[in-house]
Chain A
Amino acid sequence: DQQVKQNSPSLSVQEGRISILNCDYTNSMFDYFLWYKKYPAEGPTFLISISSIKDKNEDGRFTVFLNKSAKHLSLHIVPSQPGDSAVYFCAARRVGINKFYFGSGTKLNVKP
């Protein structure tokens, strides 16, 4: 049951430009969303999160937007840097349940 989907397996962006990574979900009970970044041979590392009571959360170069009516969230990275090249996973959780559903990931390549 793929309740969280990342439909773009890969994205290539020029250094200094904006990277936009998208994520769709199907379960309206999800109340908390996160983005993780993963480098090869390492575990995912937490990047940024957003609760369903908000529609935007910023942390430095990273901003996550949540559109509950469309069941869609996006991660914006501005400006993109070569060190941002990694696989990005979005994840969602239902109210009160410590179980996260992950998307299949988007591989971001930031070209110098």
Chain B
Amino acid sequence: KAGVTQTPRYLIKTRGQQVTLSCSPISGHRSVSWYQQTPGQGLQFLFEYFSETQRNKGNFPGRFSGRQFSNSRSEMNVSTLELGDSALYLCASSDPSGDLYGYTFGSGTRLTVV
């Protein structure tokens, strides 16, 4: 089955602009999580959506937001971009129907803010 698809793969934006990233999860997975990866910081949790509702949230400012559609596809939006927002943004889908499960990650969107 198809994996997690993130678009676009690369993006260059100017400070102050906003950006929208897209993620299509594995078919049947209803949970989509977003992570930010920066050098030396590992993966920082942004938020998780499940059945169109934000279920968990990390410690990021309100400029970072997301949503999930009825087909489980998710978008992440960052407004008023700052240079420090330059990072790899990873989307992961999961099927938390069992006790033990993990994520399947997409290849990420590399965002560069100039």
Contact = CB atoms under 8 A, between A and B. Distances in A.
A9 B33 CA distance: 25
A41 B88 CA distance: 9
A6 B42 CA distance: 9
Contact of B42 (A34, A51, A105): A105
Interface of B: 4, 6, 31, 33, 35, 40-45, 48, 50, 55-56, 58-59, 90, 92, 94, 96, 99-100, 102-108
B45 A99 contact: yes
B48 A43 contact: no
Main DSSP-derived SS at the B contact region: strand
Given A98-B48, A99-B33, A89 B102 contact: no
B50 A98 contact: yes
B100 A32 contact: yes
B105 A45 contact: yes
A89 B100 contact: no
Given A43-B4, A43-B90, A44-B90, A100 B42 contact: no
Nearest to A48: B102
A100 B94 CA distance: 12
Interface in A27-62: 32, 34, 36, 41-46, 49, 51
A43 B56 contact: no
7 contacts: A46-B103, A46-B104, A98-B31, A98-B56, A98-B94, A98-B96, A104-B42
Contact of B48 (A32, A89, A99, A105): A99
A25 interface: no
A98 B57 CA distance: 10
B96 A49 contact: no
Interface in A53-110: 89, 91, 97-105
B106 A43 contact: yes
Nearest to A105: B42
A85 B56 CA distance: 33
9 tightest A-B contacts by CB?
A43-B105, A104-B42, A102-B43, A99-B56, A102-B42, A43-B107, A46-B102, A44-B105, A34-B102
